[in-house]
Structure 1
Amino acid sequence: MFTCINQSCGTQWEPSDVVIKDEGQGPLFRCALCGARNYVKRIETKDGTVVYKQIEGKPLN
């Protein structure tokens, strides 16, 4: 479950409900309700499956 970081929004999203993309600042999804950027970290499991974990703030490149 992902949660929009915008304090006035806070909408919760299932991973299947968001589109994760890279807009030049690392992987993120935009909240469909308020448009806030919500950053995620890409993790590849031992079996090769890719999962995303939400992180606070903007990732350091």
Structure 2
Amino acid sequence: MFTCRNQSCGADWQLSDVVIHNEGQGLLFRCPMCGARNYVTRQKDAQGEVSYEQVKDVPPYGKH
């Protein structure tokens, strides 16, 4: 489950709800509701299964 880090949004999304891609600043998904960037990391296990984890150490959108 992913959560939009835009404070005014905060919507929850499943992997099937979002499109993960690289806009030149690393892997991210844009919130389908508000369009905010939400960064993710990619992991691959020993069996070759790929999973994504939301990056939590980036400040929420709009907070500097």
Say yes or no: TM over 0.5. Answer: yes
Q: Which runs of 5+ in 1 are unaligned?
A: none
Q: Which runs of 5+ in 2 are unaligned?
A: 60-64
After superposing the two structures, state which structure 1 stretch, 24-33 or 49-58, moved more. 49-58
Q: CA RMSD in A?
A: 1.1
Segments of 4+ in structure 1 off by > 4 A?
A: none
Q: Give 1:3's aligned amino acid.
A: T
Q: What TM-score, normalized by structure 1, do the two folds share? A: 0.90
Alpha-carbon distance in structure 1 between the residues aligned to 2:5 and 2:46 = 29
Report the number of matched residues. Answer: 58
Summarize deviations over 1:9-43 as a string: whole Å, max 9, x none: 00000011100000000000000111100000000
1:36 maps to what in 2?
Answer: 36
